[in-house]
Structures are given as C-alpha cells and as structure tokens.
Amino acid sequence: MPDYKAPLRDLDFVTNELWNFDEHYQSLNGAEEVDAELRGAILGEAAKFAEQVIAPLRRVGDEEGCTWSEEGVTTPTGFKEAYKQYIEGGWTGLSVPEEFGGQALPASMGFMVSELMGEANHAWTMYPGLSAGCRETLMAHGTADQQQSYLPKLVSGEWSGTMCLTEPQCGSDLSFLRTKAEPDSDGSYSVTGTKIFISSGEHDMTNNILHIVLARVPGAPAGNKGISLFLVPKFIPNEQGEAGERNAVNCGSLEHKMGIHGNATCVMNFDGAKGYLIGKENEGLMCMFTFMNGARLGTAAQGLNHAEVALQGALAYAVEREAGRALTGVKSPDRPADKLIVHPDVRKMILTIRSFSEGHRAFLYLLAQQADKTHLGNEQQKQEAEEMMALLTPIAKGFMTETGLEAANIGVQVYGGHGFIREWGMEQNVRDARISTLYEGTTGIQSLDLLGRKVMKDGGAMFGRFVAKVAADTQTMDLAYAAPLQRKLKEWGELATWIGQKGTSNPDEVGAASVDFLMYSGYMVNAWVWGLMGTLAKAKLEENDDVFYRAKVATADFYFSKIMPRTEAHKVSIEAGAESLLGLSDSDFEALAVL
C-alpha cells in the first residue's frame, strides 16, 4: 500500500493563491488573525498526525474490522490509541466557539484538517466526523441546559455523537419512520425503536456516545410533518456531569459491509431509552437538517479524499513500473521496458484522476469559505453564502462522490492486475469510496433536490445569479478556457429552462433529467475552477518555471479537451426526455421481477 502524503503544496495553492484566504479571513468578524503562517503551522501538524498515526491504520482497519459482543463493540487495533492522541492534540474543538471549550477557528480550518484525516483513513475519521454534526445540532437547536451538559464533553472529544435516522422500513423517505417517543413526567421522553446503518453507533473510543434520534411523539401528524428530534445518551450524565447510569440503548449487531470496515456501522435498539427533545415537537426534521447539511459536505469531501488516494497511488506506480515500449520509440534503452507513464492511455488515466482530485479541492474550499461567511460574515455575506451553499451543496455531494469513485476505479486500472490485489491498497480505496455516493442521500436524491428545490423553485433566479457570477469570471480568464466555458454557460441555462418547461406538463421529465443535469452541473463547476486555476498558473509561470504550475496548466488544458466534452452526452440524454423510461408499466416491471 503506498504511503499517504498530505497534499500541502496543492492545498496552499488553492487557499493562498486561488481563493486568497488571507483576504477572506480579513473580511470576517473574529477571523482576522488566522493568517498563512498560522494555517501552515496547523496544517503541518495535522499532516504529521494523518501521515504517521492514522494512515498506517487504514489497512489494519480494513482487515480486522470491528468486533461485536454483548458488552459492546471493539474497534480495530490502534484505533482507540490514535483517537486518544487526536483529542490530546486538541483537534476535536478546532472550529468550535470558545464558550464551549473550542478554539474558535473558522469552519474552513476544520475542512482543511478533515481533508487530510479523511484521505489518510476514511473509516477512522468517521468517528470524530459524526461527533462534529452532533455538536453543530446542539449549538444550533439545543437548550442552554443541553449545551452546558453535553457540549464540553463533545468538544473535548471525551464523548462522541451519532445521527440516527434510518430504520429497516425507512431509508431516505422518512415518512415511514416508526420510532416512538413517549413523554415522561420529568420532561424527558421514552424512545423506542430500531435504527440501522448507524455509523459509529457503538465503539470503545469514548466513554459515552450521544445519539441524535428522529422519532414520533403520540398524536404526531403523519409523514414528515410529524417527526421530532431527540438526544439519547448511552450513559445519562450524573450530577457531576460525568457518564452515569446506563441508558436503554444498545447495539444489536454490526452491518457486514463492502468497505469502511474499520468504522462500526450498527443496528441500534432503543428500548424505552431516556431521551431529551431538541427544538420543538414535530419540527425535528428541520433541526436535523443542520446535521445532514454538514454531513453532505463531509461526504462530498470523501469524493476528493478517494480521488487523492487514487492519484498518489497511481502516479507513484506509473513512474516506477516498467511495461512495454513507448509507441514513439524506446525511452529507456538500458532497461527491458519503459515506464508505464510513457503510454498515452496511462497518462490519460492519471490526468483524469488529477483533474478530479485537484478540481474537487478547489470546489470544496470555495464552499468552505461560504461556511465561514454563514457564521462570521455580515448580513450580506451570510445571505449570499447561504444561497451559494444551497445551490452548490447537492452538486458537490453528487458529482464529487461519483467522480471520486470513478477516480478510485481508475486507480485500480493503472495498476493492472496488481490493482485487484489487496496489498496495494487500490481495491480498498474502491470499496471504501463506494458508500459515499449512497449515504446522506443518493445521487438521484441530490439531483432532485438540485432541480426541484434549488433551480426550479424560484423560476431559476438563484441559478441564474450563479451562472452570471461564473460568466463574469470568464472575462479575466485565459481565452483557451473562457471561450468554451462561455458557450457552455449558455447551454447550461437553456437546459435548465428546457427541463422546467417539460416538467410543468410531466413531472417525470424532471426525474428523468435530474442526474444528467447534476453531473452536467458538476462538470461546469469544475470547468469554472479549472479555468481560474489554469489562468492563474499561466501567470505564475511567467515569473517562475515551476513544474507545479506547469502541471496545473497541463491538467486544465486536459480538463477542457478531454473531460468537459462529457457534458455533450448528458445534454443528449436530457433532451431525449422521459419517453424511453416509460415504455413498460409498473406491472410490467413486477412481472419481469418474477420471471
């Protein structure tokens, strides 16, 4: 398995040169001191932890997995010890307000650290990652008493958190949710039900686990309008604020999964467990979206994580492995074969992975800046940032995970047969990456959110403002990127209008076009950031002939010539409409299922 190396040079380029984080932080309230020197110091230490502590555990976690017993769940060798180092290093409270024991750094700093951790070890990073969503939910919607009782332990990392939504009969459609919450005389609730697919639901890394649980109170309206949100601790805090009496919640079993074996994915049983209402009754779904929206961006980042792992592994292999001779003539006459990298198809694979990995990083840190603005910006900054995040989050989650999985698959292909063998780590990367397109809403669900709730809801006004922003940026781009991007921007808007018009008379047209439109949108956003990066790198090359900038220009050129044309296929598929999907009736499909 190739050693993980934190991509600090590219992260520096994106944050300091492309998006100018110094200027960004200066524009925010309370972030002025977070300069390049401080960021560099923090990321340098995060890189050491990622490379030296948790990256070596990636294969350990995959091969050992987690172990269930009636006493609880044991994580793989080294996971618990690594987590202890993590909390001792203060990483858990990086972007949390000081009043709760955090370091009050901007949210984007948490994004940067999380990227390095996720690339080093996806499964391990999920444990603290779920706790972050739990903290955000309590900070946004918890009572003062709940915040005082639970946040200090969550922020310190002594306790961890989960998100409990899914049930055996209830996946993304939460209207089928059955878990009940009966009010008790002391103001708490007795929560009863079974939740499945609960990441980090039970483990031995912390001495308490706080479950954020969706449930229904008696008499609640049917469907999504009747869902409430509860905090259910594994151990109920005692008067000293420590983990006290054991609550009636336990892990019934572990799921047997394709990948991320090092993370405990649990079936959780709540048997009249004591829970505490978060927010108001029947408004739980709104509160839970605080957790879910953050989780969607975290999942989008996993697309970047797996593309980066694929890039590092595939590139290292391609410049070392010898196989065949270059079509243009022998390149290594003193060797029996040339390096893999001389072959055009191998170069195409490497550049494809690179275009996704580095494009996703630029996309993600644009969103990280918007997250900062929603917390620390003025009213105008908050409004503009919330709008951009609303539009771009489903694109990021859907597109980055789909292409991250593609990059992971290509990583296997570069290795040939060795990629299929466990010892090289590429097949694990594929298995670990596969979940990211599924949880926090599949690509299909993200695409319906994008079209139905974001693009079409206001007649395309919000979408139009973003397209106008990209168009304005093309005015300062190198013509090689500006010209094709300007043509495609016009087409992008026309496709959105076409879908909206068709959907008015037949909503199935929206469903038929949705994933194609999301992928088209993802390629457009990446074209925008690659146009900006390629233009910037060309200017830098005039000052310094640096291979880093030459690689940026070459990858930008590759993206526009080899990747952006994929939008044509999505356009043709969109314009083909829903007709070919509706040739068989529902009963026809039912009959086919039993043939």
- Write the secondary structure of 191-236 as one string of H (helix), E (strand) and C (coil): EEEEEEEEECCCCCCCCCEEEEEEEECCCCCCHHHHCEEEEEECEE
Structure tokens that stand for 358 in this block = 């580095």
What angle is formed at CA 540 by the lines to CA 534 and CA 541, rounded to 5 degrees?
A: 90
3-state SS class at 584: coil
Question: Rounded to a whole number, what is the distance in angstroms from the first to the last CA of the chain?
Answer: 44
The distance from CA 417 to its chain's CA centroid, rounded to whole angstroms, is 30
Q: What local confidence, expressed as pLDDT, does residue 451 receive?
A: 96
Distance between CA atoms of 282 and 224, rounded to whole angstroms?
Answer: 8
For residue 40, the number of C-alpha atoms closer than 13 Å in the C-beta half-sphere is 9
Q: Residue 30, SS3?
A: coil
The 10 Å Cβ neighbour count of residue 423 is 10
Residue whose pair of structure tokens reads 């309230």 in the numeric block:
29
Per-residue model confidence (pLDDT) at position 224: 87
Look-up: residue for tokens 């332990």? 153
Ranges of the chain whose pLDDT falls below 50:
none
Count the neighbouring beta carbons within 10 Å of the beta carbon of residue 22.
Answer: 14
Residue 160 backbone dihedrals phi, psi, to 5 degrees: -125, 175
Is residue 489 within 8 Å of residue 520, measured between CB atoms?
A: no
Cα 191 to Cα 163: distance, rounded to the nearest angstrom: 15
Q: pTM here?
A: 0.96
Contacts of 404 (CB under 8 A, 6+ apart): 302, 303, 304, 305, 306, 307, 356, 360, 433, 436
Q: By the 8 A CB rule, do 189 and 182 touch?
A: yes
Q: Which two tokens stand for residue 362?
A: 């630029």
User: What integer pLDDT is reported at residue 289 of this predicted model?
Assistant: 77
Measured in residues, the chain has a length of 595
What residue type is 314 in one-letter code? Answer: A
Geometric angle at alpha carbon 356, from 353 and 362, rounded to 5°:
140
Helix axes 107-120, 122-141, angle to 10 degrees: 160
Hey, which residues are catalytic here?
440
